[in-house]
Structure 1
């Protein structure tokens, strides 16, 4: 054996010593393995069914098909793929300690797993940004409700950015480095213990999104508090007469029974009221517009008040989704950075495995949070799961 061959074997052996020869799960008894297999399969099933329910809600209920809810659909698609593909392929690997599906399937599984989880995070950021615009820039936001080109571009951009963050490294790392540090019966990314890459990628995948959604939430709550102190909403301030801003003031909120024609009729009646009274009244005192102004003021305050209540619900629901995201992602991100720094020697494998599964639990929790936080999703889910009960409630609420 020549010196170059011996040196190559020595380097390969040193590299393999830093990686576990088994996946991050210890040996278990048969009973524990059966229990773990059942829980993992149950998590995959819940993730699949929950996100399928969200997708079906969009197909069957047209009331959900407006711009902001399409971001929830995009999130549901990524979470569904996690439950349908990523979790089932990982279960036998986790329980047996060996990857038996070959290197090509391993690469595909790794690429999709990182892609889908990253896309799920970016979707949460996009949802937060959309809610931020709907609360702080309500007029311009509603003016673009019917324009679907911008949301489609944003949703496609999410998948492109998520792909570029990890997938090129997963697919081409070993070709650039000239060697592989992953054993034949194992399946993990080549950068599994590369601290520098993990730090940069985790910053873009978790820290930056977390800071972004925190910024959006703080501004949303600050905006609501400021409007509560002033007793009105800045986006609904009256403009000059004959201004188009009156139309925006009277535009119905999504989900209300008002229509654009009703808003225009209100403006027309406001403009035609004074000449009609002047023509039919002999006395100047009878031409006072005080009753109409008072009625219009009451209507205006009721609209601004309901808009404020709607924004409060948006803020609460967004805060819940973001908190769940932070709880599920923070432990894994922190441990991955520490694990990379110490080459996997300072983090117990079981602890890493628990934080790893937390990422997938987030994909199963997201569809549960939709009906909890949004009335429209609750009604759509009831329509799918309990059509008779939905029909009964609808008949009770329909005026005779």
Structure 2
């Protein structure tokens, strides 16, 4: 991402002497270990567990790969520079390679977060056409675009935009302020609003689905109650269904969303006397009724899963904004206002926060997932 990464935000002012930043070294090594372990576990779980081989999880694997490469290719050199108090002691070719990988991988990480929001939006908007088990053409295009666009954002560094006259070889950073603004817009200020709008659309879509689901349940209860009343007014015959169980007599106002979450299609769990009685005895041509019922059940199951997944929405959005907003705001301000006095410690903290997001991603997207938790509970005791 558009960053000053190995940002020598603070160069040594004492000539040849360099102060060593041991807290940065310790924190950096721990961060690298956490990122590697967390993202390797994500990739391993999806590879080994059949229940986790879903299209949404393939997007999460793509995110894990971006964060994993960041921890292996970028963070060691960044931590090394921070350990030397921001002084760059390696050659500038390595610095340019580091800048390229950093911009590309951080951008890929954010673009993957955006791709996950797009994938979930599609799953809610067109659930009947959404393939959860196999990656289709649309999802392949989305995954490919994530990495191609990330490479495109980073390519100017690869082609020498950092090679400027009178370059200070004690610092490894992005030298072109216009490029810093450009990459910030591409990597954050455009994807972030898109992601927020998509999640808002998902939330609104699921709320509408819940309201329709409640209305369907209410109509079903009323139909069964009418059937019960009609049956009670007739002479007792052996062919008539027995009285409906008490559950149908339950007032609809007592039904809450938590009860609805227990079953994607609560209508299917009506007592069979009501469900299979005169209400459903009408005939439909070419099995249209059964086909429509199957579509409704499929829609309910998909939206039920998405609604449960959306419970982690505040965590996803909150962590993303908390980690990346300070970095992009600080570095964009630094590029736009060269005369502004921004403390080097603030720049360093903002940069570290961006990297911390790569450690949080596997936690956010797996700990809140039941299947991932089951795999971790099986795997970790054996491994440790």
- TM score, norm. by length of structure 2: 0.71
Q: Is the 8 A contact 1:114 1:167 kept in 2?
A: no
Among 6, 30, 46, the residue aligned to 1:42: 30
Higher mean alpha-carbon deviation, 35-44 vs 296-305, is at 296-305
2:105 is the alignment partner of 1:116: yes
Q: Which residue of 1 aligns with 2:349?
A: 354
Aligned to 2:89, the other structure's residue is in SS state coil
Q: Is the 8 A contact 1:371 1:378 kept in 2?
A: yes
Structure with the larger helix share: 1
Alpha-carbon displacement from aligned partner over 1:192-248 (angstroms, at most 9, x marks no partner) = xx1x433332122111111111111111111122122222699xxxxxxxxxxxxxx
Aligned length: 311
Query: Shift of the alpha carbon at 1:128?
Result: 0.2
Q: Is the 8 A contact 1:317 1:374 kept in 2?
A: no
2:198 is the alignment partner of 1:216: yes
Q: Is the 8 A contact 2:184 2:328 kept in 1?
A: yes
Distance in 2 between the 1:233 and 1:139 partners?
Answer: 21
Q: Which residue of 2 aligns with 1:226?
A: 208
Structure 2 gaps of 5+ residues are 217-267, 269-275, 283-289
Q: Which residue of 1 aligns with 2:87?
A: 98
Query: Shift of the alpha carbon at 1:299?
Result: 9.8
Query: Shift of the alpha carbon at 1:100?
Result: 2.3
CA gap of 1:164–1:383, structure 2 versus 1, over 3 A, is same
Q: Is the 8 A contact 1:329 1:358 kept in 2?
A: yes
Structure 1 gaps of 5+ residues are 1-18, 235-265, 267-286, 390-400
Q: Is the 8 A contact 2:11 2:170 kept in 1?
A: no
Q: Which residue of 1 aligns with 2:184?
A: 202
CA gap of 1:61–1:288, structure 2 versus 1, over 3 A, is closer
Distance in 2 between the 1:121 and 1:99 partners?
Answer: 27
Distance in 2 between the 1:154 and 1:59 partners?
Answer: 21
2:333 is the alignment partner of 1:338: yes
Aligned to 1:386, the other structure's residue is in SS state helix
- TM score, norm. by length of structure 1: 0.69
Q: Is the 8 A contact 1:232 1:301 kept in 2?
A: no
Matches within 5 A, 1:131-280: 131-142=120-131, 145-174=133-162, 179-191=164-176, 194=177, 196-231=178-213
Q: Is the 8 A contact 1:114 1:166 kept in 2?
A: yes
Distance in 1 between the 2:117 and 2:134 partners?
Answer: 20
Alpha-carbon displacement from aligned partner over 1:161-181 (angstroms, at most 9, x marks no partner) = 111112323532156xxx335
Q: Is the 8 A contact 1:25 1:95 kept in 2?
A: no
